[in-house]
Amino acid sequence: MKRNKIVAGNWKMNLDFDEAQMLIEDLENLLDDKQPSCEVIICPPFPYLELATDEATEHELFEVGAQNVSAFDSGAYTGEVSAKMLDSIGVSCCIIGHSERRKYFNEDNATLAQKVNQSLKYEIVPIFCVGEVLEEREKGIHFDVIRKQIEEGLFHLEAADLENVIIAYEPVWAIGTGKTATPAQAQEVHAFIRGLIKEKYGEDLADQQHILYGGSCNAKNAAELFAQPDVDGGLIGGASLKAEDFVSICEQASK
């Protein structure tokens, strides 16, 4: 089975309401014009999700993801947003385990595994992020780091659930730094991740698992990255805030 490509935009903590509305409008015009064949996902901050899902329902040009979700189901967890809430407003996926959440909010693999479970319970597709920091790559232990993140965050799942997870490899040293992994570096890790899945779940599941690359992916380098056999699209930060750049990346994922 040939895997379709996916491009997801991670807006992070950017834009006010008017700016978010404008970006969605610009994206709609461009996506409608260019009609990229890849799957397009946008992940705005929580307050703009419903605006985005309303637009998604009306125009069917993109799907909507959240950037985080609670590890708990419901109840006295002040400030948290549950998977059930996200599902109830039409959010269809959720970034889990982004390196910024691991670093600034101390999210560990056990918590992330719970977030994955919560998402899947409400049929929200987790976009599960893994990746090493620069020091780990320099020491040559990046494969061990990624193996641990995948094993502890995802390998408790049944095959039927893992099938619904998108994995994103995001080397931390490449995020927001302008320093992209080379296509060969990305391919090497993506093939490694696919190999881990094959080892545990078999070749069929490994073959259909989507693995996205993230970290300074932009309109200039996307084509080369997406041409790698195990790179199934991108998780885009900075460049997802510019409609033209983001849609250009989507077009490159559609060739």
User: Contacts with ligand PGA: how many residues (CB under 6 A)?
Assistant: 13
Residue 44 as a binder of ligand PGA (CB under 6 A): the answer is: no
Question: Which position's Cβ is nearest ligand PGA?
Answer: 237
Q: 125 burial class (0-12, 13-18, 19+ CB within 10 angstroms)?
A: buried
User: How many Cβ atoms sit within 10 Å of the Cβ of residue 232?
Assistant: 26
Our answer to whether residue 59 is catalytic in this structure is no
Residue 40 as a binder of ligand PGA (CB under 6 A): the answer is: no
Binding string, residues 158-197; x marks residues near ligand PGA by CB under 6 A: ------------x----xx---------------------
CB of residue 179 to ligand PGA, shortest distance in Å: 9
Number of residues that make up the chain:
255
| Residue 173 neighbours by CB under 8 Å, 6+ apart | 132, 133, 134, 137, 179, 215
DSSP E strands, the chain: 6-10, 39-43, 63-66, 93-96, 125-130, 166-169, 210-214, 233-236
Our answer to whether residue 55 is catalytic in this structure is no
Q: What is the largest CA-CA distance in the chain?
A: 49
Nearer to ligand PGA, 9 or 36 (CB): 9
Residue 249 as a binder of ligand PGA (CB under 6 A): the answer is: no
The active-site residue out of 170, 190, 210, 251 is 170
Nearer to ligand PGA, 153 or 215 (CB): 215
Residue 105 to residues 70, 99, 101, 190, 234: CA-CA distances in angstroms? 13, 10, 5, 26, 24
Convert 154-182 into a string of H (helix), E (strand) and C (coil).
HCCCCHHHHCCCEEEECCHHHCCCCCCCC
The active-site residue out of 39, 55, 63, 98 is 98
CB of residue 129 to ligand PGA, shortest distance in Å: 7
235 φ/ψ angles, rounded to the nearest 5 degrees: -110, 115
Show contacts with ligand PGA in window 209-238 (CB under 6 A). 214-217, 235-238
Nearer to ligand PGA, 216 or 254 (CB): 216
Binding string, residues 55-94; x marks residues near ligand PGA by CB under 6 A: ----------------------------------------
Residues of this chain that bind ligand PGA (CB under 6 A): 10, 170, 175-176, 214-217, 235-239
Q: Which residues are catalytic, by number?
A: 98, 170
